[in-house]
Amino acid sequence: MNPDPFDRLIQSLFDGTLDPAGREALDRLLLESPTAREQYRRATALHSALIRRAEHETPAKVPTRAALRFANRKLLALAALLLLSLTASFFLLKPGPSARIVRVSGTSTLTKGQPLPVKTPIDFERGILELSFPSGAEVVLEGPCQFRLDEAETLTVSHGRLSVHAPPGAEGFRVNTPGGRFVDLGTRFGLAVGSDGTNPVVLTEVYEGEVEVQSSGKTRLTKGESRALVREKSGSRLLKALDAEPIRVPNLALQPASQEEPGRNLALGKPVTSPGYCIRPHGSVFPPENLTDGRLDDTGVPGDWSFWLAPDGENGGFTVDLLATTRISRVSLQNTCNRRIDDRGTESFLLMVSNDDVHYTTVLEGSLPRLDPGAKGSFPFHDFSFPSVEARHVKLVVTSHYRNLLRPDDHPNQGGGLNEIRIFAE
Partner 1 sequence: MSEHPRTPEEQMVGWIASHQGALHRLILSLLPDDRTLANDVLQETNLVLWRKAKEYDPARPFLAWAFGIARHQVMAARRDAQRDRHVFSDRLVELLGEEHPVDDNTAELENALEGCLNKLSAKHRELILARYQPGASVQELATARSKSPGALSVLLLRIRKLLEDCIDQQLNPTAS
Residues that bind partner 1 (CB under 8 A): 1, 3, 7-8, 11-18, 23, 26-27, 30-31, 34, 37, 40-55, 58, 75, 79-80, 82-83, 86-87, 90-92, 94, 119, 121
State which residue, 44 or 219, has the beta carbon closest to partner 1: 44
State which residue, 5 or 377, has the beta carbon closest to partner 1: 5
State which residue, 25 or 239, has the beta carbon closest to partner 1: 25
Q: Which of left, alpha, beta for 27 (phi over 0: left; psi -120 to 50: alpha)?
A: alpha
Rounded to the nearest whole angstrom, what is the least distance from the CB of residue 23 to partner 1 in the complex?
5
Rounded to the nearest whole angstrom, what is the least distance from the CB of residue 71 to partner 1 in the complex?
10
State which residue, 73 or 382, has the beta carbon closest to partner 1: 73
d(CA 93, CA 230): 33
Rounded to the nearest whole angstrom, what is the least distance from the CB of residue 90 to partner 1 in the complex?
5
State which residue, 54 or 425, has the beta carbon closest to partner 1: 54
Rounded to the nearest whole angstrom, what is the least distance from the CB of residue 222 to partner 1 in the complex?
25
State which residue, 125 or 298, has the beta carbon closest to partner 1: 125
Rounded to the nearest whole angstrom, what is the least distance from the CB of residue 30 to partner 1 in the complex?
6
Rounded to the nearest whole angstrom, what is the least distance from the CB of residue 52 to partner 1 in the complex?
6
